[in-house]
Chains A and B, each alone.
Chain A
Amino acid sequence: MIALALFTGFALILLGLYGALTNRDLIRMIVAFTIADTGVNVVLVAVGYLPGRTAPILDAAVPVAEAAARVIDPVPQALVLTAIVIGLGVTALMLAYAWRLFRARGSLDISDFTELKW
């Protein structure tokens, strides 16, 4: 199952990067970027998973004494949690810039922004 999640995550990263690099429409570039973002999160969570163990929350099902032997690694989860929240902020920032560009130029197609051409 870890391998499955890893492959899915990596495939999402590659698909997202491909979309972000080849699209000419700003909105769709940002959509592709969020897909790659999700892929990174999936990979990180998959790396923290250990087979046969359970969520790092101690309750009746997981007593404190057995915790170290029964739960999975909580550190990647804490990392991903904050990454998702920051990801929303980054998306909002990109959309704000896209909107600003649209108001300045009346277009969302990056081939109209010649000074950015490579």
Chain B
Amino acid sequence: MSTRHILIAGLLGLLGLAFWHLAADYLPDAALNPTAAYYAAHAADQTGAPNLVTGIIITWRGLDTLGEVTVLFLTSAIVALVLAQSKAPAGAAGPGFLPAGELLATGTRMLLPLIALFGAYVIANGHLSPGGGFQGGAVLASGVLLALLAQPRMRIGHALLARVESVSGLGYILVGLAGLAFASGFLDTAFLPLGRFGALLSAGAIPLISVLIGLKVGAEFATILQSLEEGEDAAQEEDAA
């Protein structure tokens, strides 16, 4: 026991020594490296997106993002699968929280539309200001989480979530293929007009892809939250009742 602690502390000490050298000798570059400089110089004429991070995520590194969304989908599917195979002991099924009070319930009913609106704003302005599909999806999932907290019985159906998830995933692939057909390659967003730099509807297909990613990520997070919230047993209980 204690020898193990000492061993771990020693190993981590070695790692810390390596980190120390990395950090102490670190000197920031004076200028951007060539890749970043290229991205900064060509944001306006290639993607039309003032937010370079969104431009990189959706256009220049779009394939990585597609892969990442797939990984997230696999995660949510595996979480649901892992939890579906085990049942709660008799009499212990049901939510882990006590029922909410009236004030929280009313507050949730008032806040949910606002959170959804803010999520839509974050998604739609992803190419102009901080935000984009991933952030907006997280905000939307936070709305779902608030609904679960205030009214544990208030759930969006798993079937609906799965449908939103698969339709937006399919749409993402189709937009990518449209880039292959009408522009220079897979996931090239320039097949739609770039529009006026800095306007809401501009930057080619970037807002469209943002919306699809936002819906997909939001649905995946919501699936994870609901799987952890209910599990299989409580749903069966409802069916029986």
Contact = CB atoms under 8 A, between A and B. Distances in A.
Interface of A: 2-3, 6-7, 10, 13-14, 17-18, 21-22, 47, 49-51, 55-59, 64, 67-69, 71-75, 77-78, 81-82, 85-86, 88-90, 92-93, 95-97, 99-100, 103-104
B52 A74 contact: yes
Contacts of B61: 78
Contact of A14 (B16, B83, B88, B138): B16
Contacts of B41: 67-68
A96 B26 CA distance: 39
A28 to B, nearest CB: 15
Nearest to A94: B79
B86 A103 contact: yes
Give me the 10 closest cross-chain CB pairs, A-B, nearest first: A89-B75, A56-B52, A74-B52, A58-B50, A10-B19, A6-B23, A68-B40, A78-B56, A67-B40, A73-B36
A18 B76 CA distance: 29
A63 B26 CA distance: 30
B177 interface: no
Contact of A10 (B16, B36, B65, B85): B16
A71 B40 contact: yes
B9 A18 contact: yes
A92 B228 contact: yes
Given A6-B23, A93-B75, A68 B32 contact: yes
Interface residues of B, number: 62
Contact of A97 (B53, B76, B82, B87): B82
Contacts of A14: 12, 15-16, 19
A17 B12 contact: yes
Nearest to B44: A64
Contacts of B30: 50
A82 B134 contact: yes
A53 to B, nearest CB: 9
Contact of B43 (A51, A67, A81): A67
B224 A89 contact: yes
Given A51-B28, A67-B43, A68-B40, A100 B78 contact: no
Contacts of A88: 221
Contacts of B57: 78, 81-82
A88 B22 CA distance: 28
A62 to B, nearest CB: 9
B129 A57 contact: yes
Contact of A59 (B44, B50, B75): B50
B137 to A, nearest CB: 8
A107 B87 CA distance: 16
Contacts of B197: 64
Nearest to B55: A74
Contact of B79 (A3, A72, A86, A93): A93
B227 interface: yes
B95 interface: no
Interface in B126-148: 128-130, 134, 138
A7 B21 CA distance: 11
Given A56-B52, A64-B197, A90 B75 contact: yes
Contacts of A50: 28-30, 32
B5 to A, nearest CB: 6
